[in-house]
Amino acid sequence: MKIKAVIFDMFETLITHYQCPLYFGAQMAADVGIPEENFQALWRPTEDDRTIGKLSVEEVVEMILRKNECYSEQLVKRIVEKRIAVKEECFQNLHPEIIPMLSELKKRGLAVGLISNCYSEEADVIRHSRLMPYFDAVYLSYEQGIQKPDEEIFCRCVDFLSVKPEECVYVGDGGSYELETARRLGMNAVQAAWYLKEGTLQPSKRKPEFLQVERPMELFEYVEKLNFARSGTGELLLLRSTHGAAYNDRVIGTDQRLIKMRTHHETNNH
């Protein structure tokens, strides 16, 4: 049973917030002159409702400004436009292998899916982004009314692509327990590590229980070895990297076979 689809997370997988100016709660609070603790006390509790489409960012910002007695239509508009501009900038600062990877997936005839937790303005930016033409299925939490790690949003995407979970590779940075959910459903879950950096505000950290892919194009080595393992020609396979990095061996289980992958060894110049 060969791999037929690759499904991606969006933030910190295909794009990253952390190579652009940040415009989160702290920055919005400073922008409108509200103490951060006052702003966050109202902003953070709305996260789930913002993520599953019960509240738009405009509605939440308006509520916060009104409660802090500084509301104006122009101020709401300015904040939302700033958030949109920052999200759009993320799509202009992609890892250089993202577009080649997506292009190659399409050339090889693999279906490409997207499952993303996102807010109203993020959903709109994603829909109008330069990555959209590469996706065969797009499942955004704001539109679907459910969010990762709910299994249902994964199942909807897989069903739309007309594939089985075991025929999919799921690629994400590991936030929202997405990798655990994908694996539980039978998908081949790998951690996208190319944007992960120590000493940043990124919420996700490396998860040693999952294979970590250090560069987008290395994903093809994993897919090829999965397919070879399932062909019945071998039980243990050694993945060799052509990128000249130092490696340690790690064995992972997949589809009742073992694939011996090589994961990057920590070095000072990595």
pLDDT digit string, tens, across residues 105-133: 999 999 999 999 999 999 999 999 999 99
Confidence category of residue 202, pLDDT binned at 50, 70, 90: confident
Which two tokens mark 185? 């459903």
Closest CA to 116 of 187, 15, 207: 15
The mean of the pLDDT values for the chain is 88
The pLDDT value recorded for residue 197 is: 85
Asked if pLDDT for residue 259 goes beyond 60, the answer is no
Percent of the chain with pLDDT over 70: 85
How sure is the predictor about 233, in pLDDT bands with cuts at 50, 70 and 90? low
Other residues' Cβ atoms within 10 Å of the Cβ of residue 263: 20
What pLDDT was estimated at residue 242? 33
- List the beta bridge partners of residue 7: 113, 170
Where are the domains positioned within the chain? 5-18+93-264, 25-90
At the topology level of CATH, where does 5-18+93-264 sit? Rossmann fold (3.40.50)
Neighbours of 161 (CB within 10 A): 18
Are 152 and 171 in contact, with CB atoms under 8 Å apart?
no
Whether 13 and 171 have beta carbons less than 8 Å apart is answered as yes
Residue 235 has pLDDT above 50, yes or no: no
Encode pLDDT of 89-106 as tens digits. 999 999 999 999 999 999
Contacts of residue 149, defined as CB under 8 A and 6 or more positions apart, other chains included, come to: 176, 177, 178, 180, 181
- For the segment 33-68, what is each residue's pLDDT rounded down to a tens digit? 999 999 999 999 999 999 999 999 999 999 999 999
Token digits of residue 70: 């500084």
